[in-house]
């Protein structure tokens, strides 16, 4: 019982320090664009994630086909930078 008591009040204290958009009761469904993770729900972002998933699948096949350290490091660094460039939201 003591652990439940401490857990409950610990969560209340932690919720007091959370930003307003993070608290579930403050999320307004009419203005969903104000939420920090709104971009993850858009169709455009999902399409970009699909491209990145295909890129990483191809990189994994390349690394499995040619398992030498220079190719592994080069392919992984290239894929990482390209993934960040594809998923970047700045215009």
Give per-residue pLDDT as tens, 33-85: 656 667 777 788 889 999 999 999 999 999 999 999 999 999 999 999 999 99
Q: What is the pLDDT of residue 40?
A: 72
Please state, in angstroms and rounded to a whole number, the distance separating the CA atoms of residues 53 and 50: 5
Comparing 31 with 7, which gets the higher pLDDT?
7
CB-based contacts of 22, cutoff 8 Å, min separation 6: 36
CB distance 71 to 62 below 8 Å? yes
Secondary structure of 27-91 in HEC code, one letter for each residue = CCHHHHHHCCCHHHHCHHHHHHHHHHHHHHHHHHHHHHHCCCHHHHHHHHHHHHHHHHHHHCCCC
């Amino acid at each position: 019982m003591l652990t439940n008591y401490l857990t409950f009040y610990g969560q209340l204290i932690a919720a007091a320090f959370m930003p307003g958009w993070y608290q579930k009761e403050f999320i307004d469904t009419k203005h969903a664009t104000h939420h920090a993770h709104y971009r993850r729900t858009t169709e455009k972002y999902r399409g970009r994630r699909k491209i990145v998933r295909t890129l990483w699948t191809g990189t994994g096949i390349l690394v499995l086909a040619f398992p030498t350290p220079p190719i592994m490091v080069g392919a992984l660094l290239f894929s990482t930078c390209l993934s960040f460039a594809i998923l970047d939201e700045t215009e």
